[in-house]
Amino acid sequence: MSNEERGQVTQHASRSTLWWLAVAAVTAWLLWMTLRPQAQVTADLTVITTPAAAQGISIPFLIDFLGNIAVFVPLGAAAALALADKPRGKRLLIATAIGAGLSAAIELLQSTLPSRFADLDDWLLNTAGTCIGAMIAAVLIQRT
């Protein structure tokens, strides 16, 4: 292996490690957001929900639908970018499985917390958000 090839391998490994660290950071944030008492989360989100309600946007739609999808997009993107050396289909599948697994774990944990509740719709929307993030990353990887 030439020095140039070794340099490329090292650069790829470093980039992949950074993306896996991003996956870990997003995972930690998601766990923090989803396992806190519901009243605290609701209070923290008033910065978003109050202006939205003033514009006539349904708060349940905003939180349940858009929120569950949007918050998992970064996880899917970071996981797909960490898996950039895999074929596109495998990368999308693994990244989406990571999000689906994390979301399932969150829903199971929420079912044990008195101030939270588990919901199959949340799992489906979180998984969809992860898949969307992975697809966005796939487009970015393809362009580079």
- Of 20-34, 58-72, 91-105, 122-136, where does mean pLDDT reach its minimum? 58-72
**What is the per-residue DSSP string for the chain?**
--HHHHHHHHHHHHHHHHHHHHHHHHHHHHHHHHHS-HHHHHHHTHHHHHHHHHTT--HHIIIIIIIHHHTTHHHHHHHHHHTTTS-HHHHHHHHHHHHHHHHHHHHHHHTT-TT----HHHHHHHHHHHHHHHHHHHHHHHH-
Per-residue pLDDT at 3: 59
pTM for this prediction? 0.87
Q: Tell me what the pLDDT averaged over the chain comes to.
A: 90
What pLDDT digit, counting tens, does each position of 50-101 carry? Answer: 999 999 999 888 888 888 999 999 999 999 999 999 999 999 999 999 999 9
* Residues 34-48: tens digit of each pLDDT: 999 989 988 988 998
Domain ranges of the chain: 3-143
